[in-house]
Chains A and B, each alone.
Chain A
């Protein structure tokens, strides 16, 4: 253990100088492919994005869009040998792709941490909540058990667990769903991580608890100035938290811009579809929802051209382009990126006349 803690100190010393300027997390041309008997599953295919300190990126997409695979790649949690990962994941200038697993392990907890969707399976049922928080803290900090325990109690108090002094010795099953989620957030925050990835942090929770957890993530981010990546399928959640939003479909980014842009002037037909699919409390009730037809594609046989073309109502508007050529992910003005063949005039016309009035 002494060997590895030295490594961690060295690792920190190496990376500190690089910390000046540039986004804290930068992903460039990331591809995550899983070879299977049926063919190669292209879960993430040429993905690029970045997050600065103190900012929140929301990644939105349906199941199978590659959002969770992306976060597991950043954390280095894919089982060795199962995934082909290429491209670059730069954490404070340090490339994590191809890095020694032991080195990545030392970055986890301290420099980056993750909140998982299901706290019951993410926590070990055999150990008390306190033990699990203390373990993480003592790996990165040379402190006595008593100090670490005090730290764990402080954290539980911080995330709003009632009577943390006694609850620290409880087992995960003795906590309610919302409390378990908070305990996991406490665990993720135990070493003040600089990058926090939250994968569907509130999906399993009731709306009142969800509101508490979102407030908590927001407060903690302001306090520690961390970079946060929040992964969800709920557009309401990202509207509450995110500065920037990336919409993913079939392992690729299809739209990327500021949160305000995504909600006020979305430009990709898939984003229009997502917005039309959700019933909204803040608008007049519409008679019918406007779902996206069909289902997401298989990632082994991604449709040629634009992967969204079988479900897109506007795929035929530009001769055969959508069916043959993969649209480039490009800047269409002011940092608003989309991957779509429709011309700017057509997009504006469709959004103003067909989509916006029906939302």
Chain B
């Protein structure tokens, strides 16, 4: 990582907003008939608003189908949003064309979930990790090979493995190759989609530690997409809980895990199996009934009301806004949990 121009202002600007997302929406149309008329929409992401500060880790969690992966693909502009804006360092990138987006691709990179599917089996590690330099025509004074070997060393691989093919590596090592490729152009924002969920427990811990080390070394900003709530607590500064394309609760790590306010968050946390046999008997678990409803026709009002044990009539008709109920802790619920412990008056709350 020696050759590229250092970003001298990065340290000074640590903590300011790097990414601002407002009202982000993505509908996938369902077309039918001869004229391919749009008959319905899959409302994958429906009105997300959040910011990501430089140097922090924001995690998006939720069950499958909640839109977290679509959000990741929107942030990296692999898909174009239906509505809303994505602003990176003050520049609106929501509808940039492919060619206008290309120079920005070096600023936003992605780590993929599947370490088997994300590396071309016919390319050597050198080609794979060196591709960003070639594609972005980045000058490397000591040659691409030297650069790639530095990267391999950085992620804990042997630089001599430059000429090997992906199949010669284990899952954890492949994930490291993917991370090396991601880091090649020193991105400002890394979107990591389930970066460790395909790995074994002992390897998972190695990769989590690697991601944290790299973050503190290069002031990286992560948007982490994950479903494992234990891992999320370990890596995140802030956490956004998603359900059916909407943010239900967003808060810093400590508040979210110690004082979850949205019933959905409470249910998710209570469902995590705890590796402690002494707790088996006296655990209170909230069992959510059924599955996540279809995003083609999501429930009216609060989208969670069909599975919520606190739901009342108002929840079926009025959608609760995402309101800040405590400093840095916003919840979209008419009847939030853990409200008594609040020190400030939740005047912003709906109803």
Contacts and interface: CB of A to CB of B under 8 A. Distances in A.
Contacts, number: 127
A276 interface: yes
A212 B229 CA distance: 17
B267 interface: yes
Given A207-B268, A211-B287, A285-B234, A235 B202 contact: no
Contacts of A215: 287
A63 interface: yes
Nearest to A261: B277
Given A208-B63, A291-B202, A292-B202, A279 B234 contact: yes
B273 A274 contact: no
A279 B230 contact: yes
A214 interface: yes
17 contacts: A63-B200, A177-B64, A206-B227, A207-B271, A208-B288, A210-B273, A236-B274, A238-B275, A239-B275, A240-B273, A260-B277, A277-B202, A280-B275, A281-B272, A282-B274, A291-B204, A292-B202
A157 interface: no
Interface string A186-230: 000000000000000000001111111011000000000000000
Interface in A288-312: 288-293, 295-296
The 3 closest A-B pairs by CB, nearest first: A236-B273, A291-B205, A279-B234
Contact of B268 (A208, A236, A274, A278): A208
Interface string A220-256: 0000000000000111111110000000000000000
Contacts of B287: 211-212, 215
Contacts of A264: 277-278
Interface string B162-185: 000000001111000000000000
Contacts of A237: 273
Nearest to A204: B64
A233 B199 CA distance: 10
Interface of B: 63-64, 170-173, 200-206, 208-209, 212, 227, 229-231, 233-234, 253, 257, 267-269, 271-280, 285, 287-288, 290-291
A281 B233 contact: yes
B63 A62 contact: no
B206 A291 contact: yes
Contacts of B277: 239, 259-260, 263-264
Majority secondary structure, B binding face? helix
Contacts of A240: 273-274, 280
Given A236-B275, A264-B278, A296-B200, 9 more contacts: A63-B171, A178-B291, A207-B227, A235-B201, A238-B275, A277-B201, A289-B209, A293-B206, A295-B203
Given A207-B268, A281-B274, A295-B172, A276 B205 contact: yes
A259 B273 CA distance: 14
Given A215-B287, A291-B202, A279 B274 contact: no
A176 interface: yes
Nearest to A176: B291
A85 to B, nearest CB: 26
Contacts of B291: 176, 178-179, 209
Interface of A: 62-63, 162, 176-179, 206-212, 214-215, 233-240, 259-260, 263-264, 273-282, 285-286, 288-293, 295-296
A208 B271 contact: yes
Contacts of A234: 201, 273
Contacts of A239: 273-277, 279-280
A263 B275 contact: yes
Nearest to A61: B200
A293 to B, nearest CB: 8
Contacts of A277: 201-202, 204-205
A62 B200 contact: yes
B228 to A, nearest CB: 8
Given A162-B290, A260-B277, A279 B233 contact: yes
A231 B229 CA distance: 21
